Amino acid sequence: MAVYKQQYRPYEGPRTSPIWRFLVPLRYSYAKILQSRLLVLLLALCMFYPCACATIIYLSHNSPALAALRLRSGILPQVDGRFFYFFCTVQGSLAFVLTALIGPGLVWPDLANGALALYLSRPFARLEYVASKMTILVLLLSTITWLPGLVLFAIQAGCVGWDWAVDNAWLAGAILVASIVWIVVLSLIGLALSAWVRWRTAAGVAVLAVYFVGAGLGRAINNIWQTRYGYLIDLGEVMNTVWAGLFRYYRGPGLSPVHAWLMLLLVCLVCIKALASKVRGLEVVR
Amino acid sequence: MSHDLVVLEDVCRFYGEVLGVNHINLSIGPGITSLVGPNGSGKTTLLSLIAGLIRPSKGRISVLGYRPDQPQQLMRILGYATQFDSFPMGLTGLGLIYSLLRMSGYPHSDCRKMANQALEQVGLVQDSHRRIGAYSKGMKQRLKLACAIAHQPQVLLLDEPLNGLDPLIRATIIQMLRRLGREGRHVIISSHVLNEVEMISDQVVLLSGGYVAAEGPIHTVRTEIKDQPMEFLIQCDKPRLLACSIFQHDHVVEARLLPEDQGLLVKTRDANQFCRTICRLALGQVQIHGIIPTDDNVRSIYEYLVGNQEASK
Amino acid sequence: MTGLLRRQLWGIMRLEIRRLFLSRMSLVVYLLAFAPAILLIGHATFETRYRQRLRSIAKTHKPLAGLDQVYPGMSMQQVVERLGRPYAQRFGRRGSPTVFYQYTDGTTNLTVVFMQGYVWRLLYREPTSLPEYLRLLSGIFNLYYLRLGIFFGAVWVFASLFRGQILDKTIHYYLLCPVRREVLMAGKYLAGLLSMILVFDLGVLFQWIGTLWLFDKATLAGYLDQSSLRQLLTCVAVTALGCLGYGSVFTAVGLIFRNPIVPAAAILAWEQINPFLPAALKPLGMIHYLQSLLPSSAKLDQQIPPMISLLIRPGEPARPTVAVIWIVTVSLVLLAVCCVLARRLQVNYATD
């Protein structure tokens, strides 16, 4: 009998479920992210608008408080699709800023330091790696988008009554879908750029550029070609169109919601393709 | 400041609250000097301080009379092969050395010649036109050496220069380093491979926890370690008799017979007295074939000075 | 300048220019610089073919009267009596009572939309005039090129001059050369500046070529006679000044901050809100001076909201000499700061 057969004893104890292994790298990433005071400050700032909205909802159903503040009841905005559309616009912009700050640092360091080979040499697939990195952004962005959105919905339901909640249940669904779609798009863009652009700085600039340069070029296309299809490369406009459709809010002429959804799908597919080509254990240079 | 020495005077370097090196006083002359110490003992910090890549928190450094904050003068006489395996993107081996020499101000024709010479010395001529990204670890290591020696510096700092090299290339590089040392250049090497350090070094600097634990030629360092008895292997015809005789002397703390007549292992507190005793005994009834100091090497010094501290941590 | 210094400077610039021009990362700069030009040249190509097509159609289907002789409310028969048979006819979607007739006189295309047999809408597509095109070009330059293209190009190139190499762990190769840190800084900055100016000024030139290409010699001669080329030269100069100014800002940012994305985002926000700032704060933005140098205010289209038109037209522009002096002085001060920072630069990759 070979020596190794006599002496080698592999680990035979229990193993964690493979389904949840993608959560392992999360804890380290969060620990690192939350070390940054700037990010913690930004996260706190992201809660300002939801708090203001909650105050508005509370005041609009509290006549004595309104009277004490000498405000007319009509001065406060109505809590409807338009209200939540603007909520998503503000929180979505902040989610974008957070992605520009956090996203670039997610994949790039692993690629630069050869850590990907270490991850992938374990029973940890590329898909799990991407899911793990994506979960970091998804959870963080959820805390500033759909979670406070649903809390606002619940506050309104609590103030008005169960009937309002039943009649406007589509609003809760819209908040959830609108936020999750935006989070997924942002996460994929953040990860793809982090994987493709070698430096954290450059990847951050690229995330900003995708948004702002896309908007600028979109306008240029519209003006040169006398069309509205330029908006297709304006990520903000695309997302606003999708949100407006979900919240049944008319924004005036612009992109059609179908085109906007298709564009989002295309962006996601391109990002997934980009990630698939970069998230590999080994990069061959000739 | 001396013009033929690398001098460090009371040099300290802290990374925030973390100690890099502390109160380092060294004068390094021509020849090969090895910095030896465990991981995190401050070897790389010391090399980076000498090269001016980092500044000391306290103290003064002079490299053959030049200050490290004068790169325009210092880097003419200094070459540094760092521990980092990263290279500027998209360049070939030859392209990198050529570009660095152009940056140093050498004219085009000289740059080409000097780059080729350096690549030849490290055996990388054949691959000089390949992109660095495609190089193996050993080739990258050799390229770093080539970058460091390309401008023929007087002072050469090499951080773990033999890492990742195959045995043949290793021998070639050791030969090259020996030649550079013989030529009177200051070759300062940081290394973990103790037997290679011993093979090539004229003197060692032993670092531990950011402090210099010992410095000087290996033999001198060993004799200065008073608290550790020196160990000798004596090969003779009557080891038992010799053991009885020698053990009567106060300076002998241990005498051990090795199996299968391999000889007698003696530990003594005083090497000079031990030699005199052995001479006297050799004139008598015991025929001595040989006396070999068994702990007069870098490994033993390392164990005595660093191993104890590491063990006590 | 001594021979050695010149050789060193050129050695640094050579390596940097190569990196900035030939690496995969430089594709982003090319995209930022040439995207408007590609759009304009593409449009010019399309428009030229379209005009040729209209001219050839007009030869065989010339309208009987001027295209302005039809009005909403006219019947289909009246329109055909006035203008003759259309060169193209199209029906609305299945079940829709809409019919489209197309006429052209060789330059203008008219689409007559009939609803249930009567003219509902008249859609004229007239060729855009040169002044209109130039206004459009000016709008693109002002709103996209200056505010976004050059800005992001400068962040991309200059913030990574040092920081990129620190992150790549390759800056020590430069620091181990017998070169004064100031020379290293100057070499890197000049390389970035030359690359940026070359790429972005070429972008401006191509935009103009794309625009002027559409027009015949007579129109162009009239335009050139009016010495309007000054507008082009101003755009070229403002581009160069933008590269100079933003370049120095982001070189400093790259040296000071470990993660330059935060200050870059802050500067972007500051520059974007500059038109809405109080008069005392406006001069603190680079964009204020750059816009002050531009000869004409842009007008993109009628639908531009007032907020965006404010972005285009600075309230109280600075005098050109003041603007140039301010940009150059700020750049020199920042470069001096960069030299000090470069002198103090230490290689400690573990903390980056």
Domain with CATH 3.40.50.300 in chain B: 6-218
Residue A120's pLDDT is 85
Q: With bands split at pLDDT 50, 70 and 90, how would you rate the model's confidence at A72?
A: confident
Query: Does C306 have pLDDT greater than 60?
Result: no
Q: With bands split at pLDDT 50, 70 and 90, how would you rate the model's confidence at A258?
A: very high
Residue B1's pLDDT is 57
CATH architecture of B6-218: 3-Layer(aba) Sandwich (3.40)
Residue C300's pLDDT is 45
B102 contacts chain A (CB < 8 A)? no
Write down the domain spans for chain C: 3-46+129-351, 57-125
Residues in chain A within 8 Å Cβ distance of B89: 198
Contact assessment for residue A192 and residue A271, using Cβ atoms and an 8 Å cutoff: yes
Chains with ≥3 CB–CB distances under 8 Å to B: A, C
Q: Chain A closest CA to C283's CA: distance in Å?
A: 23
Of the candidates A101, A197, A202, the beta carbon closest to that of C262 is on: A101
Residue C299's pLDDT is 46
Express each pLDDT in B25-47 by its tens digit. Answer: 999 999 999 998 888 889 999 99
Query: Nearest residue on chain C to B156, judged by CA atoms?
Result: C176
DSSP letter for B157, please. E
Contact assessment for residue A53 and residue A152, using Cβ atoms and an 8 Å cutoff: yes
Residue A1 lies in a domain: no
Give CA–CA dist A46/A93, Å, rounded. 10
- State how far Cα A86 lies from the chain centre: 16
Query: Does B53 have pLDDT greater than 50?
Result: yes
Residue A161 lies in a domain: yes
Q: Which of A149-163, B299-313, C118-132, C207-221 has the highest mean pLDDT?
A: A149-163
Pairing assessment for the beta strands B18-28 and C109-115 based on DSSP bridges: unpaired
Residue A234 is part of which domain span? 25-59+78-278
Which CATH number among 3.30.70.100, 3.40.50.300, 3.30.70.920, 3.40.50.2300 corresponds to the domain B229-294? 3.30.70.920
Partner B, chain C 12-71, Cβ-Cβ below 8 Å: 12, 14-15, 18-19, 22-23
H runs (alpha helix) in A69-168: 81-102, 104-112, 115-120, 126-142, 146-160, 162-167
Backbone angles phi, psi at C81, to 5 degrees: -65, -40
Partner C, chain B 25-64, Cβ-Cβ below 8 Å: 48, 51-55
Of all residues in chain C, what percent carry a pLDDT higher than 90? 35
Dihedral sign from CA coordinates of B119, B120, B122, B125: positive
B76 contacts chain C (CB < 8 A)? yes
Q: Which of C169, C176, C177, C180 would best serve as a mutation to test chain B binding (most B beta carbons within 10 A)?
A: C176
Backbone angles phi, psi at A259, to 5 degrees: -60, -40
Q: How many independent structural domains does chain A possess?
A: 1
Residue C260's pLDDT is 86
Query: Nearest residue on chain B to A286, judged by CA atoms?
Result: B134
Residue A4 lies in a domain: no
Residue B17's pLDDT is 82
Cβ contact, residue pair B99, C14, below 8 Å: yes
Cβ contact, residue pair B75, C7, below 8 Å: no
Cβ contact, residue pair A101, C261, below 8 Å: yes
Residue B180's pLDDT is 93
Express each pLDDT in C241-293 by its tens digit. Answer: 999 999 999 999 999 988 888 899 899 989 888 877 887 788 888 989 998 88
Query: Nearest residue on chain C to A42, judged by CA atoms?
Result: C262
Radius of gyration (C-alpha) of chain C in whole angstroms: 27
Give CA–CA dist C204/C186, Å, rounded. 26
pLDDT, mean of residues C297-321: 60
Give CA–CA dist C58/C109, Å, rounded. 10
Q: Which two tokens mark C122?
A: 């008249």
Q: Which two tokens mark B197?
A: 């350090």
Residue A34's pLDDT is 84
Backbone angles phi, psi at B161, to 5 degrees: -70, -20
Of the candidates A197, A206, A219, the beta carbon closest to that of C143 is on: A219
Size of interface A-C (CB pairs under 8 A): 99
B133 contacts chain C (CB < 8 A)? no
Partner B, chain C 147-166, Cβ-Cβ below 8 Å: 165
Q: Chain C closest CA to B203's CA: distance in Å?
A: 26
Q: Chain B closest CA to C289's CA: distance in Å?
A: 36
Residue A283 lies in a domain: no
Backbone angles phi, psi at B6, to 5 degrees: -95, 115
Residues in chain B within 8 Å Cβ distance of A285: 131, 133-134
C168 contacts chain A (CB < 8 A)? yes
Residues in chain C within 8 Å Cβ distance of A101: 259, 261-262
Cβ contact, residue pair C164, A202, below 8 Å: yes
Residues in chain C within 8 Å Cβ distance of B96: 173
Residues in chain A within 8 Å Cβ distance of B93: none
Residue B268 to residues B125, B227, B287, B303, C304: CA-CA distances in angstroms? 53, 11, 20, 18, 95
CATH class in words for C57-125: alpha beta
Express each pLDDT in B65-98 by its tens digit. Answer: 999 988 989 999 999 999 988 898 888 999 999 9
Residues in chain C within 8 Å Cβ distance of A198: 25, 164, 167-168
* Phi-psi region at B216: left, alpha or beta (left = phi > 0; alpha = psi -120 to 50): left
Express each pLDDT in C5-49 by its tens digit. Answer: 888 899 899 989 988 888 888 899 999 999 999 999 998 888 889
Residues in chain A within 8 Å Cβ distance of C149: 213, 216
Strand partners, C135: none
Query: Nearest residue on chain C to A108, judged by CA atoms?
Result: C167
Q: Which of C136, C167, C206 would best serve as a mutation to test chain A binding (most A beta carbons within 10 A)?
A: C167
Residues in chain A within 8 Å Cβ distance of B133: 285
Task: Give A150: exposed, middle or buried? Use CB within 10 Å, 0-12, 13-18, 19+.
Answer: middle
Contact assessment for residue A247 and residue A174, using Cβ atoms and an 8 Å cutoff: yes
Q: Among C254, C248, C256, C251, which residue's Cα sits nearest to residue C344? A: C256
Helix (H, G, I), strand (E, B) or coil at A173: helix
Query: Nearest residue on chain A to C144, judged by CA atoms?
Result: A216
Mean pLDDT of chain A: 88
Residue A118's pLDDT is 86
C144 contacts chain A (CB < 8 A)? yes
pLDDT, mean of residues B256-269: 83
Of the candidates C18, C175, C178, the beta carbon closest to that of B104 is on: C178
Mean pLDDT of chain B: 86
Q: With bands split at pLDDT 50, 70 and 90, how would you rate the model's confidence at C236?
A: very high
Strand order in the sheet with B263-268: B252-258, B263-268, B230-236, B288-293
Residue C200 or residue C285, greater confidence: C200
Residue C298's pLDDT is 46
